[in-house]
Structure 1
């Protein structure tokens, strides 16, 4: 019989012998002691379980921390070994001769002979002299390039013309400098761009003739039913179709040199570069001056001028591409002969022989404006047709 049963039996015997009031009091004490006993056992068990769980949690946390430390140490040691191997390989690549093992001979007593020491010094001296000669050669090459670049900057500092050098390194730097300068001034180029046309196509141009200088400026806006990436692709890889030429050479990372056909039938070298941003693409075109350009008797170039073009391509909300174009051209006219207003007008199809001298500037200006508007219509149609064809080819190819 258990202790609880004994207590219950004893309480029953006492309850039978006691009066009614005492029986009730004894029953209440028995029930209270039983409840207190059960409550105390539950609380103790819960407290013990919490302590055990907390200890198990901290033990597992410490084990995890030690495992993580071991993994980190192993990873760092492995990384150090890889770096040491890579450093050894780089040292061998820089100067393999210096890394060759050259163990000097030892005497019988374990010391080094003077012959071995002298041979080692001679070997190290030859290696040092060879390395010094390589460094001097590299220094002279860089110094020569720097001198030529300084000369080129001095020649192209005060005139807005760019002339390519025969040196390949300088040619590459020249094209990058010329196009990056235009890209840097993109905001200034479009500062006067008309804003009253919203997303419609338009063209606003002006031409002035003053002091033998012909200045032309044009603001145009194109709306193409193609993504911006396709429009930029056409302006980079199909530009020869738009410029009516097949000569596209001297490709670099973002520049290409093309031979563009001028309105009077002549050709000129043009460098083109693309600059991609998050929501737009800027394409710049700049006319280059040739060293073997036709010159008059005084050595002055017959064709003295420049041409700059900015394309600002942006995405529209409906998937189209809006292209803003700024064209800036200037040409210096000669007083007579080749390169004069009369000669240039004749190449364009205008005869100024019978036009009075005071009216020639205005007649020439109006004629050039008419030719410009006709050319604008043609170039819009050409770009649209090439763009549609390329977009179809890309869609079918994908």
Structure 2
């Protein structure tokens, strides 16, 4: 029964928390009563059975607990009265409220408030509104869990003490908040895709479609195209890209994602998501690894590294260079990245080195690198893929080596 309750909570968490924040204007209170509602479910559902509408049951229970707490706690009531008064002075534009049909998406924009540092905005949204655990959020940002926990606490305090209202931003505020929202949606997708939590990945795609329908800007198209092109390869993702059976890729998603990538690159300088979508489209269009336009992919990574100079982009560029110029060239670039603090615990760095070492015939070094990556891997999907590569090295190793 605990598994059933937790599954319902994961599915309903975003809607539950967003509705509670919208109703009571306090994120801490919303989180606390949502947890109280889950505890109540764990007590009553084994006895009474799972309700026909479990999400509605959790919502009703959480609201009742919030009202009870407000009646008992004068401090909460006074603070919420101030927040409510400020919310009345900042009524959202009616057309925008009507245009954002998803409560979670409205809260995504709310948490993208410019008063919060960018990394705090994204971390808070992923933890509280997308329902990711703090270690999952930390992994998405390549930082220790304790560091991420501190960021989330500081973001909540900033909202509370700066009295940032939970409201829908006006149309003139959207351009400044859109990049933060796109970042959160993409991190939600990559976390779900990496962990085989398809509910998260599908939720990100759904939110991306809503965003694109309401705000058909080029970077929104780029993000949606990137997610669709990545999602198209879902059935083969446990094997390396060069070994995937491309007949199993979803042709409809590829066609839709490619069209969006083209739209993202039309009409002005490209943005990071448009460039990434273009890279994914080149992979999708190629009949096999040898027929992939690696020079164009490296050129696109050069552009992306200028737009988003992150260690992960540099790592991906190194892998593309290895395909264009050979594994030795890629290995030199990867070795230069080894001292970057952000990549020291990132399993894809030793995994990429292992792949290139294997291609160079340096089997013992490749096996050691795969084991190093396996020690760092923190998802079942990553561990399965790495064990498969280790098993292959074991099968291919000459007798007596």
TM-score calculated relative to the size of structure 1: 0.22
Normalized per residue, the structure richer in strand is 1
TM-score calculated relative to the size of structure 2: 0.22
Q: Which structure would you say has the larger RCO, counting Cα contacts within 8 Å and 6 or more residues apart? A: 1
Normalized per residue, the structure richer in helix is 2
